[in-house]
Amino acid sequence: LHTMITTSVRGHLANHDFPDAYGWNKCAPIALFDAPIETTYRDDLQGLERMLRDLSRRAQVLILWLDCDREGEAISDEVRTVCFKGNGRLKVLRAKFSTVLPGEIQRALKTLGPVNENFVQAVQARSQLDLRVGAAFTRFQTMRLQKKFDGFSDQGVISYGPCQFPTLGFVVERWARIETFRPEEFWFIELTLRVAAAGDNSRERPLHFQWKRGRLYDRVL
């Protein structure tokens, strides 16, 4: 007879940042591309980290039920790392599932496997690139513009990020569509029939018909 303890996490446990020696005005922005990266845990997640370590001391096997994608694989690695601090002898297994239906959960339990290390490294590489590129260019352009233009010194940080520009592009594209939108009149056919209920002509129910052509922008049919 085995006892299974189930708990949960809140997404990524770890936070990655540069040491204090690489703070603003302490180094050139280009130095961030080779600077060491520290792994820390936010104050609001330290309780969760302690819980995982404590539960690990009572367990023999750790089954990771995180989302079945690259990000879930990376979070699995973070959970595994924390649990190893409490019990380095843990046997770690990964459950792969798409839904939480009983049959799917049972199938996942019967087909447990290892963590996909390639996915973990892919997410870690992307995360490091986001941090290094974002921090370096944010510092560079902020300090550059503050020196070049009056008034920029009061504007705070001028952020740059590899994910921010595509996202900003989506927002600007949507804004431009709204700004350039010109309303047009259109026509459509709407047909509703009322059909008497079987055996009772006093009761009717409406039948709504939809025109296959939808909207028509030319008034002449």
Q: What is the pLDDT of residues 93-114, one digit of tens each?
A: 999 998 889 999 999 999 999 9
Q: How confident is the model at residue 89 (pLDDT cuts 50, 70, 90)?
A: very high
Q: What is the pLDDT of residues 128-160, one digit of tens each?
A: 999 999 999 999 998 888 888 877 766 678 888
Q: Which residues contact 60 (CB under 8 A, 6 or more apart)?
A: 89, 90, 91
**Would you say 82 and 40 are in contact if contact means Cβ atoms under 8 Å apart?**
no
Q: What is the pLDDT of residues 163-209, one digit of tens each?
A: 888 898 999 999 999 999 998 888 888 888 888 777 676 778 888 88
The pLDDT value given to residue 221: 53
Q: CA–CA separation, 24 vs 81, rounded Å?
A: 30
Q: How confident is the model at residue 219 (pLDDT cuts 50, 70, 90)?
A: low
Q: Are strands 61-64 and 91-94 parallel, antiparallel or unpaired?
A: parallel
Q: What are phi and psi of 86, to 5 degrees?
A: -90, -30
The pLDDT value given to residue 90: 94
The pLDDT value given to residue 154: 67
Q: Which residues contact 113 (CB under 8 A, 6 or more apart)?
A: 93, 94, 96
DSSP state of 98: S
Q: CA–CA separation, 132 vs 117, rounded Å?
A: 22
Q: Which residues contact 182 (CB under 8 A, 6 or more apart)?
A: none
Residue 57: both structure tokens together:
């001391």
Q: What are phi and psi of 4, to 5 degrees?
A: -110, 125
For residue 162, count CB atoms less than 10 angstroms from its CB and return exposed for 0-12, middle for 13-18, buried for 19 or more: middle
Give the bridge partners for 196, in sequence order. Answer: 204
Q: Are strands 15-17 and 38-40 parallel, antiparallel or unpaired?
A: antiparallel
Chain mean pLDDT for the chain: 89
